Structure 1
Amino acid sequence: WVYLSLHSTYGILWLLKDRLFPDKRWEEEISWYFGIGTFFLVSLYWVAPLILISSRVEPPPPLIAAAITINILGVFLHYGSDTQKYYTLKYQSGLVTEGFFARCRNTNYLGEVLIYSAFAMLTMHWLPFVILGAFIAGIFIPNMLRKDRSLSRYSEFEAYQANSGLLFPKLYSTNQAVEESV
């Protein structure tokens, strides 16, 4: 029931997000082949609940509590950063370097990693972690690097990049001048 509640809430919030602050990339036309391929790729996310249901293993309460905490933190980072980015860019173009993005350039992806890590934790099985790792390596990181290449057109990107982490927040600046410029 915990998994059902967490994943259902995530899905409902995704639908609300799509109506309130949509991602332009999800509005692009794609080919049938790409759509079918994406459907099968995304269906890998359903391996975790399948394992949870079929294994009849019940996660212990401390693990459930940790998974709920990680999931909520992930939802906050994912949707909070997407909201900030959407409304900031709606009113001014350029780099978004404050708030959720002050120390991490891809807070939304970090949120998604936390969300799906929580789902994987509840299964107490290695396969959902492998699938998540494959998504991170094959989709998330290439998208983050593509975004960095795109943002490098801004003159202040080099300073921002030095002061922020790609996926995890950079807690300390290595250069005081860089910190003051961001």
Structure 2
Amino acid sequence: MKQKYFIDSHKGATAIAVIAMMAWHGAWDQTAAWVYLALHGSYGVFWVLKSRIFGDKSWEAATGLGYGLVIWGGLSLYWIGPWLLMSRGVEPHPGILALCIALYCSGVFLHFASDMQKHMHLAHRPGVLLSDGLWSRSRNPNYLGELLIYASFVILPLHWAPPLVLLAFMSIIWIPNMRRKDRSLARYPEFQTWKARSGLLFPKILK
């Protein structure tokens, strides 16, 4: 089986899991619970659509059931956030809700637009370094978008645990992947010039 089957199924199941939590905690009148469902639930749907239309080839790798379940279990750590939100009946200030919605919208634009740009670049300009558009000042705008998306999820519960989960994923998976990609792209002659004017994650504005 491919890794993407486990990732996609988990992302797609998020809305169902959040609705189940709402039912368990009787959170039907909790505004923050509905906002969380709208954010994380829609992201799961968008991810599955992206996987089908312009998916990341790195998730095409074959894997066994054991490791697939590890992937599912790891991603389920993100469901700690909605559980804490609903079990504690948290209702963040409207300003916090607005911030999370703004972070989510910004992240969705960056993540999906940059992945689409990468998909089209690889299809029509193979062998050429992608270093323009959304990729001109950040070498990983898709990861930056994902960071903003998940920041909206982990802020809403107003608890220390969800941000730790995000930091763990960044430290164990995201940053090593970004550095591994840098080492691979260093084979291009123009890589060093691009690296000098761009940030690993956050855009380098002043160069």
TM-score category (smaller protein) = over 0.9
2:184 is aligned to 150
Shift of residue 33, structure 1, vs aligned partner = 2.7
Aligned counterpart in structure 2 of residue 129 of structure 1, from 155, 163, 169 = 163
1:39 is aligned to 72
| Bigger Cα displacement from structure 2, 33-42 vs 114-123 | 33-42
Are 1:117 and 2:148 matched, yes or no?
A: no
Once residues 126 and 151 of structure 1 are traced to their aligned partners in structure 2, the CA distance between those partners, rounded to angstroms, is 36
1:20 is aligned to 53
Which one-letter code corresponds to 1:108 in the other structure? N
Deviations 1:30-62 (A, max 9, x none): 123321211111111111111111111111111
2:15 is aligned to none
Shift of residue 144, structure 1, vs aligned partner = 0.1
Once residues 26 and 95 of structure 1 are traced to their aligned partners in structure 2, the CA distance between those partners, rounded to angstroms, is 21
Which one-letter code corresponds to 2:60 in the other structure? E
1:172 is aligned to 206
The share of aligned pairs that are identical, in percent, is 49
Once residues 108 and 54 of structure 1 are traced to their aligned partners in structure 2, the CA distance between those partners, rounded to angstroms, is 32
1:178 is aligned to none
Once residues 140 and 18 of structure 1 are traced to their aligned partners in structure 2, the CA distance between those partners, rounded to angstroms, is 18
1:55-66 mapped onto 2 (5 Å cutoff):
55-66=88-99
Once residues 33 and 144 of structure 1 are traced to their aligned partners in structure 2, the CA distance between those partners, rounded to angstroms, is 26
1:179 is aligned to none
Are 1:159 and 2:193 matched, yes or no?
A: yes
Deviations 1:95-151 (A, max 9, x none): 111111010000011111111111111111111001101111111000000000110
Which one-letter code corresponds to 2:173 in the other structure? I
Once residues 11 and 53 of structure 1 are traced to their aligned partners in structure 2, the CA distance between those partners, rounded to angstroms, is 19
Aligned counterpart in structure 2 of residue 75 of structure 1, from 93, 96, 108 = 108
TM-score (norm 2): 0.82
Once residues 127 and 148 of structure 1 are traced to their aligned partners in structure 2, the CA distance between those partners, rounded to angstroms, is 31
Aligned counterpart in structure 1 of residue 131 of structure 2, from 78, 94, 97 = 97
Deviating beyond 6 angstroms after TM superposition, the runs of 4 or more aligned structure 1 residues are none
Shift of residue 28, structure 1, vs aligned partner = 1.2
1:138 is aligned to 172
Once residues 146 and 13 of structure 1 are traced to their aligned partners in structure 2, the CA distance between those partners, rounded to angstroms, is 26
Are 1:11 and 2:44 matched, yes or no?
A: yes
| Bigger Cα displacement from structure 2, 13-22 vs 31-40 | 31-40
Which one-letter code corresponds to 1:81 in the other structure? S
Once residues 83 and 133 of structure 1 are traced to their aligned partners in structure 2, the CA distance between those partners, rounded to angstroms, is 26
CA RMSD of aligned residues (A): 0.8
Once residues 121 and 56 of structure 2 are traced to their aligned partners in structure 1, the CA distance between those partners, rounded to angstroms, is 13
The runs of 5 or more residues in structure 1 that have no matched partner are 174-182
The runs of 5 or more residues in structure 2 that have no matched partner are 1-33
